[in-house]
Structure 1
Amino acid sequence: MTSIPSVEGKAATPSQSRLSRVVKLLGPGIIAVLSWLGAGDLITSSVAGANYGYAMMWVLAVSLLLRYLIVNIIARFQLCNNQGMTILQGYAQLHPVFAWFMLGYALIMGHLMNAYMIKGAGESLAMLLRIDYPLLCSMAVVLAVWMLVGRNIYSMIEGVMKALLAIMTLAFLALAVMSGPDVVGIVKGTIGFSIPADEGVHGAMLVAVSVIGAVAGSVANFVHPYVMRQKGWVGPQHKRVQRNDLLFAVFVGIVINLAIWIVGAEILRPNGIEVNTLADLGKALEMFFGPIGWYVFFIGVFATLFASISGKTTAFPMLITDALQHVQPKRRERYGKEFHKDPAHRWFMLFILVTPLVWSIPGMPDFVTLTIGVSALNIIGLPVISLGLLIMSNQKSLLSKEYRNNLFENVALAFATGLALWVAFQLGVDLFS
């Protein structure tokens, strides 16, 4: 983050000094929340609100709590283990199967997550340009990302995208407040712990699983420790600032997800609008803000998706390359700790970015269905991730007592493992029946 140059001859006031320190410290959390806030959160929260009101609000609350706990434990392990291990090294030292699992899981989910984001970005761009060629627009997005990622101009483009994302977020927040949310309904839904009867195209269990997968089980949660290392947070001395930074990021995520859910429950549901396409969700802003609301929505969605595609195309290959080098240790000896020096890293980038275009071909599942389906698939990895984390974050040989899990964290990880297995079983029963 660039700093603001001081005016020559004028000393900074104490308040300015404190503000500048805060701005410099906030970083990985902001990047994390931008990485998390993709089409998964946007679609799953709006579909849940539009189809089921606040009945499944507890799913979002549990998912956000689990996200904070899982990411915080991941970050604490990487900062505080006495061997200087990365989080992936922590998993790999438990058993080689964890490295193999993470290699395959990150490769598949990186492909699938970019699939619905590239498809959505193409559809958004086609809508904005008023042309009926979403596949061509998706190809243009892929080409633009490949040309921009890693280059000096990308930081400027990313800044513009974040600003557009902020405008759309503010529009949703304003609309959520203007709609007069049912606070009693939100509280009842948060403590209700019930799955309502199916409504609309997407069943209640599938929507619930997709919310949990998109939030708590997302492999994108592993992006945070890589960003921490780039920030220079590499030891126990950074534990406090990391936790506060993550709390801020999760708070922002709560506000945004809640606003989107409220819009679905208070605007779309009463008007009988189901979220089957991006245009359906855009109707909410158009109804209240007119044509400008339509443009704010689609420009914001395009910015969100473009930034997410760029972030995942940058971060996922690092995770995949790291896993590959644990499976094949000689690669790390040959290429060192700089992932981009490994030739496989570039091929992983191409795979993550180019192969998802196949899902944009006409006749493939629509954007909303693809988003919900892929988000639900995230649940497959949650038991392995939470169980492995439960074991290694209690290892006395790697962590001193003050950095090991407390009772609540152990219970939460055990609960996450059980919850993931239960919802996966219930989803399987629903699908086969």
Structure 2
Amino acid sequence: MERSGPVEKSVPLAKEQGSGLRRLAKLLGPGIIAVLSWLGAGDLITSSVAGANYGYAMMWVLAVSLLLRFLIVNIIARFQLCNNKGMSILEGYAQLHPVFAWFMLGYALVMGHLTNAYMLKGAGEALATLLHVDYPLLCSVAVVIAVWLLVGRNFYALIEGVMKVLLAVMTLAFITLAVMSGPDLGGILRGTIGFSIPPDEGVHGALLVAVSVIGAVAGSIANFVHPYVMKEKGWTGPEHKRIQRNDLLFAVVVGIIINLAIWVVGVEILRPNGLQVNTLNDLGSALELFFGSGGWLIFFTGVFATLFASVVGKTTAFPMLITDALQHIRPERRERYGKTFHKDPAHKWFLLFILVTPLVWSLPGMPDFVTLTIGVNALNIVGLPVISLGLLIMSNQKSLLGDEYRNNWFENLALGFATLLAIWVAIQLGLQLLG
């Protein structure tokens, strides 16, 4: 059903009454879900590895990636809220050409599987460490069973509440550690404007780490989770554009603080002490150096809880994205089951696929957690050119967005840059691997 017109108005606050922090906590929801979904192991590992191996030299990669994330996710959200046809973001892609729906179906299946692979592996290892048992695979299986019991049971409010607490705890822990370590502000500034790729150090090459940071932040398929979480929150029209933008800005600012703190910990604590980030224990050692056994416990509890929450979020959102893509390829399914994704029998099978099949990566002999995390996040770069190019086209469609909600010149320039950057780094990485 078409909307009468994309006229922005004040957000109804009948349900949002309250004062101060209480009202803010109620309003800020999808952004908090998003930042915890984004954070996970991808940012934790890529930022710490980059800091521990290369100091502040590649800080510019993080800065560019975070800026691109805000722009890309904001454009995605604005399109879904403000187009005059009531289209979802996937419908926007599908109306450009059927190939986009096919691409999103295959890409979300593959990346949903691989993303949960390193999340489950990390959660299992963290839980095994906390319990002092040497059975990470069984702990990963326990996580899968717990997630299965949680998702699809109308626990959105509970998940949101837990994530708010986790966000505060993780942020406080890493900020405290980063401040105590005495960051080199001049080094951070030089690295942010340096635009250089240093010589390889450690197990993981500089270019691979840089691509992994870009993939984990700007190119992550998790960026498409945000519109579905917005819908769960009830933000469905242009009247919610302002609060959505502020919510997203809050999420990105928190993401900047957390990523910067993790990076500083890598530079100022891991690097001087000769600690390479090969396992979660290496990161736990950083907190243990400053806070003793209590710091170690806080770290592994926070890491497990964050990874667990991320698996819940991705297991909830990825099947919706995949089912949405399938229903655009097979429109008769939407006619039969409607727009409520869980009513489509395929949704449950997609959920099982996203949740259960990644356990194969936790079997003995598979790549270690850090290598798997860096590799999967680097693969995100493959989809970034298609995602950014399609978004560039549809977010400039005057017939859907009018003049008010189309991209400005800076957003168009940023999307064009993201496309070219992704192509360039993919080529460079390919040449390096071939060489």
Which TM class, normalised by the smaller chain length?
A: over 0.9
Tell me which residue corresponds to 1:426.
428
In 2, Cα distance between equivalents of 1:165 and 1:408: 31
- How far has the Cα of 1:240 moved from its partner? 1.1
- How far has the Cα of 1:167 moved from its partner? 2.2
- How far has the Cα of 1:28 moved from its partner? 1.1
- How far has the Cα of 1:16 moved from its partner? 5.3
Tell me which residue corresponds to 2:361.
359
Verify the 8 A CA contact 1:386 1:414 in the aligned structure 2.
yes
In 2, Cα distance between equivalents of 1:91 and 1:156: 32
Q: 1:288 aligns with which of 270, 287, 290?
A: 290
Verify the 8 A CA contact 1:162 1:304 in the aligned structure 2.
no
Tell me which residue corresponds to 2:370.
368
In 2, Cα distance between equivalents of 1:277 and 1:18: 41
1:289-347, Cα deviation, whole Å (9 max, x unpaired): 00011111111110011000010000000000000000000000000010000000000
Tell me which residue corresponds to 2:397.
395
- How far has the Cα of 1:149 moved from its partner? 1.8
Tell me which residue corresponds to 1:126.
128
Q: 2:47 aligns with which of 45, 48, 65?
A: 45
1:264-304, Cα deviation, whole Å (9 max, x unpaired): 00000011111011101111000000001111111111001
Tell me which residue corresponds to 2:273.
271
Verify the 8 A CA contact 1:40 1:371 in the aligned structure 2.
yes
- How far has the Cα of 1:165 moved from its partner? 5.1
- How far has the Cα of 1:24 moved from its partner? 2.7
Tell me which residue corresponds to 1:77.
79
Shift of the 315–157 alpha-carbon distance from structure 1 to 2, 3 Å rule, reads closer
Q: Secondary structure at the match of 1:180?
A: coil
Verify the 8 A CA contact 1:68 1:246 in the aligned structure 2.
yes
In 1, Cα distance between equivalents of 2:394 and 2:268: 44
Verify the 8 A CA contact 1:165 1:303 in the aligned structure 2.
no
Q: Aligned partner of 1:215: which letter?
A: V
- How far has the Cα of 1:23 moved from its partner? 2.9
In the TM superposition, what are the counterparts of 1:185-224 in structure 2 within 5 Å? 185-224=187-226
1:165-198, Cα deviation, whole Å (9 max, x unpaired): 5323311110000011000000000000000000
In 1, Cα distance between equivalents of 2:162 and 2:245: 28
- How far has the Cα of 1:361 moved from its partner? 0.3
1:253 aligns with 2:278: no
Verify the 8 A CA contact 2:61 2:213 in the aligned structure 1.
yes
Q: 1:303 aligns with which of 302, 305, 316?
A: 305
Verify the 8 A CA contact 2:32 2:167 in the aligned structure 1.
no
Verify the 8 A CA contact 1:165 1:300 in the aligned structure 2.
no
Verify the 8 A CA contact 1:48 1:56 in the aligned structure 2.
yes
Verify the 8 A CA contact 2:33 2:163 in the aligned structure 1.
no
1:323 aligns with 2:325: yes
Q: Secondary structure at the match of 2:400?
A: coil
Q: Mean alpha-carbon deviation: is it higher for 289-298 or for 228-237?
A: 228-237
- How far has the Cα of 1:200 moved from its partner? 0.1
Tell me which residue corresponds to 1:12.
none
Alpha-carbon RMSD across the aligned residues, in angstroms, is 1.4
Tell me which residue corresponds to 2:13.
none
In 2, Cα distance between equivalents of 1:158 and 1:17: 20
Shift of the 136–47 alpha-carbon distance from structure 1 to 2, 3 Å rule, reads same
In 2, Cα distance between equivalents of 1:217 and 1:243: 20
1:226 aligns with 2:205: no
Tell me which residue corresponds to 1:312.
314
Q: Secondary structure at the match of 1:394?
A: coil
Q: Secondary structure at the match of 2:119?
A: helix
- How far has the Cα of 1:160 moved from its partner? 4.6
* Count of residues in Structure 1 that have an aligned counterpart in Structure 2: 419
Tell me which residue corresponds to 1:86.
88
- How far has the Cα of 1:408 moved from its partner? 0.5
Verify the 8 A CA contact 1:164 1:299 in the aligned structure 2.
no
- How far has the Cα of 1:157 moved from its partner? 6.9
Q: Secondary structure at the match of 1:352?
A: helix
Tell me which residue corresponds to 1:163.
165
Q: Aligned partner of 2:383: which letter?
A: G
In 2, Cα distance between equivalents of 1:150 and 1:111: 18
Verify the 8 A CA contact 2:112 2:318 in the aligned structure 1.
yes
Tell me which residue corresponds to 1:109.
111
- How far has the Cα of 1:159 moved from its partner? 4.0
Tell me which residue corresponds to 2:24.
22
Tell me which residue corresponds to 2:185.
183
Q: Mean alpha-carbon deviation: is it higher for 238-247 or for 378-387?
A: 238-247
Q: Which runs of 4+ in 1 moved over 6 A?
A: none
TM-score using structure 2 length = 0.94
In 2, Cα distance between equivalents of 1:255 and 1:305: 19
Tell me which residue corresponds to 1:145.
147
Verify the 8 A CA contact 2:61 2:214 in the aligned structure 1.
yes
Q: Secondary structure at the match of 1:247?
A: helix
- How far has the Cα of 1:413 moved from its partner? 0.2
1:375-405, Cα deviation, whole Å (9 max, x unpaired): 0000000000000000000111111111111
Tell me which residue corresponds to 2:5.
none
Shift of the 255–225 alpha-carbon distance from structure 1 to 2, 3 Å rule, reads same
Shift of the 364–408 alpha-carbon distance from structure 1 to 2, 3 Å rule, reads same
In 1, Cα distance between equivalents of 2:36 and 2:164: 8
Shift of the 119–62 alpha-carbon distance from structure 1 to 2, 3 Å rule, reads same
Q: Aligned partner of 1:38: which letter?
A: G
Q: Give the fraction of aligned pairs with identical amino acids, expressed as a percent.
A: 82
Q: Aligned partner of 1:415: which letter?
A: F
